[in-house]
Amino acid sequence: MKTIFGIDLGTTNSCISMLKEGKPEVIAIQDSSLVPSIVSFEADEIIVGLRAKNRQLLHPENTISSVKRIIGSDETVKIGEKLYNPETISSYILSFLKSEAEKVCGKEVKNVVITVPAYFSDSQRRATQKAGEEAGLKVERIINEPTAAALFYKYLQIDEKSETIESNILVYDLGGGTFDVSVLRVGELNEVLATTGNTKLGGDDFDQTIMELCMTRIMREHGIDLRGYKPAEARLKAAAEQAKIHLSHHPYARIEGNLIPNQGNAEIDLFFELERSEFEEMIEHYLEITKKEVGKALSESGLTADQIQNVLLVGGSTRIPAVISLLEGYFGSSCLPPIDPDLSVAKGAAIQGGIITGEHIHQVLIDVNPHSLSASALSYSELVPKVICVPIIPRNTQIPVTRSQIFYTNHDEQQVVKVEVFQGESKEPSENTLIGSLDLKLHPSPAHSPIEIEYSYDLNGIIRVKVEQKGYGAKREVDLDSTLRGQSFLEFDLSIDDEDDFDPDDMDDTQEQDNQVTNYILHKSYDTLNELTSEAEKNTLKALIHDYEKALKGDDEDLVDETEEALVDYIDELKERGD
């Protein structure tokens, strides 16, 4: 049987694990369970892990940390004259884990399950998968970090008792760069009920807050502004993190930055004490954000705090006493079982690997999608025509899932339908993320012809889109590659023969929009007419429609606007009467 390794590719640290005789075990790399997710460049050598971390102070300009915070984005990292995208930097970390783990266990590391924050978007997931492939790995599955932690927790329970007890658990995962919260029902099945979070909140922000304080002190005491000066920032960041960790176990910490580099001038000494209460105040607003997300996850799962039996604390930052107090206050102290905040995710990933290879683990995992997927369409619910996002797969739907919805063409002989795939919760397209679009050339048909749009979300949280003109056979099915950002679909089936004759870009956008608005108004007018029962109202509406249609045939734009307004106002009035 092949082995599927589990990898927790963390913002701060990464970890690789495997099942040994059915038990998840972390593989120690250079004697440590955790490998710093740091990459440093020296001439042609790529250095990863602890050595890279040690180089960070001396060579900050050649060293990259927390790359996970920008994975799946357009941002790049410049080292010397070379630009690297975040996937490539992540692939160096994965290659290092692969080769070092191979040395330890004496076999090839090829098939893996990689974990990502539950709240990662499609492009962040894709980029992670690509990083795996660039590292020569076969990524069998991308799973959510809190779900992996829950799988491990469940494994421990099964290990202790043979019977399966059903319970609701909440996973609060606060690492170096991301925050996730998931609510799960575990039992015979492990079902994720809701998941939410913030992919840009974590221990790095707490370090940054302490660093800002140091900068302010240096400014006050020495009149020197070191902001943006990398060697000083690297030194201060290390001092800040050390102090933060110290404060988890002590009431105060000394911040000692001996000999902070000062842009070619005499180095600066920094020494002061920070109290835990002071630090807690400094990070209070971040913890408030996490508390709100906990409330949101609970309400979306349909549960209340007293229906949660266990709260799992995952991620290094959950060692902060203020985090523990926050959760004890919310759920009660008896709800927090001791689990390893650093290793549970990687061990859960190895368990998921075992489930895929068919090991006797007796666990079934059902996860959900973290963001709604919608298509843009002209809204028929408001009088002023407006393009809105219509959800096809709402967030927190169990995956894998396929859902479809019927939309309608706007005018006779419409040549093309444009499907835009959005990820996000807003009705307003500009507030969501456009992750792709595709055009389907239509067969000639009357207005209001049905178009079926179908989205599928697979077990890795990756999307496939199918568009079909019902009754006419025009169809396109595509796989969405959102790492190529916007408009990029990987086409694998196109069932229109004369595609070459058609170029959607030839269409005049403004004209297209005007046509859509006109059609929308007429559509709405006739719908309203059909619904009316009063003869008097019907006659008034018919007359207004007639005036509008007549104006449309002429050249007088003012008359079109006038008759349009009169028609829209009257429909509005009828709607108000009806309400």
Contact with ligand AMP (CB under 6 A) among 3, 12, 352, 525: 12
Stretch that binds ligand AMP, among 134-142, 160-168, 238-246, 399-407 (CB under 6 A): 238-246
C-alpha separations of 277 from 282, 285, 303 in Å: 9, 14, 33
Residue 49 sits in the site that holds ligand AMP (CB under 6 A)? no
* Residues in region 285-344 near ligand AMP by CB under 6 A: 315-317, 319-320, 342
The answer to whether 461 contacts ligand AMP (rule: CB under 6 A) is no
Q: Which is nearer to ligand AMP, 15 or 113 (CB)?
A: 15
- Closest to ligand AMP by CB, 142 vs 474, is 142
Task: Please state the closest distance from residue 10 (CB atom) to ligand AMP, in A.
Answer: 4
Cα–Cα distance, 111 to 371 (Å, whole number): 27
Our answer to whether residue 306 is catalytic in this structure is no
R_g over Cα of the chain: 29
**Closest to ligand AMP by CB, 253 or 375:** 253
**CB nearest ligand AMP: which residue?**
203
Per rule CB under 6 A, is residue 248 in the interface with ligand AMP? yes
Out of 140, 173, 233, 468, the active site residue is 173
Least distance from ligand AMP to the Cβ atom of residue 137, Å: 21
Minimum CB separation of residue 460 from ligand AMP in Å reads 21
* Residue length of the chain: 579
The pair of structure tokens assigned to 383 is 């009088």
Q: Does 420 bind ligand AMP (CB under 6 A)?
A: no
Closest listed residue to residue 235, CA positions, set 259, 204, 254: 259
- In angstroms, what is the minimal distance from the CB of 203 to ligand AMP? 2
> Is 419:375 a contact under the CB 8 Å cutoff?
yes
The verdict on whether 291 is a catalytic residue reads no
Nearer to ligand AMP, 122 or 241 (CB): 241
Kindly name the residue from 87, 122, 140, 145 that is annotated as catalytic. Answer: 145
Site for ligand AMP in 195-224 (CB under 6 A): 203-204
Looking at the chain, the number of H-run helices and the number of E-run strands are 13, 28
> Could you tell me the two tokens for 342?
């650093």
* 241 near ligand AMP, judged by CB under 6 A: yes
Instruction: Looking at residues 342 to 361 of the shown chain, list those that interact with ligand AMP (rule: CB under 6 A).
Output: 342
176 is a contact residue toward ligand AMP (CB under 6 A): yes
d(CA 567, CA 154): 62
CA 9 vs. chain centroid, Å, equals: 15
CA–CA distances in Å: residue 427 to residues 50, 194, 377, 378: 46, 20, 10, 11
Looking at 36, 72, 132, 175, which residue binds ligand AMP (CB under 6 A)? 175
Token pair recorded at residue 482: 């959102």
Of the candidates 3, 11, 168, 195, which one interacts with ligand AMP according to CB under 6 A? 11
Q: Is the Cβ of residue 199 or residue 456 nearer to ligand AMP in the bound state?
A: 199
Q: Which residue has tokens 């079909």?
A: 468
Task: Rank residues 244 and 371 by Cβ distance to ligand AMP and give the closer one.
Answer: 244
Q: Which is closer to ligand AMP, CB of 345 or CB of 419?
A: 345
Which listed residue (53, 68, 130, 524) is catalytic?
A: 68
Is residue 68 annotated as part of the catalytic site, yes or no? Answer: yes
- Is residue 135 within 8 Å of residue 102, measured between CB atoms? no
145 carries an active-site annotation:
yes
Using an 8 Å Cβ cutoff, are 37 and 175 in contact?
A: no
Using alpha carbons, list the distances in angstroms from residue 279 to 219, 314, 412.
Answer: 20, 21, 65
3-state secondary structure of 194: strand
Please name which of 180, 100, 98 lies closest in space to residue 139, comparing C-alpha atoms.
98
**Least separation in angstroms between CB 248 and ligand AMP:** 3
Q: At what angle do helices 145-160 and 344-357 cross, to 10 degrees?
A: 80
How far CA 532 is from CA of 27, 535, 539, 567, in Å, comes to 72, 8, 10, 15
DSSP element (H, E) containing 245: helix 230-247
CB nearer to ligand AMP: give 246 or 291: 246
Q: How far is the CB of 41 from ligand AMP (least distance, A)?
A: 23
CB 188, min distance to ligand AMP, A: 30
CB of 348 to ligand AMP, least distance (A): 13
Nearest to 8 by CA among 16, 142, 97, 121: 16
Active site amino acids: 8, 68, 145, 173
Binding residues vs ligand AMP (CB under 6 A): 10-13, 175-176, 203-204, 241, 244-245, 248, 315-317, 319-320, 342
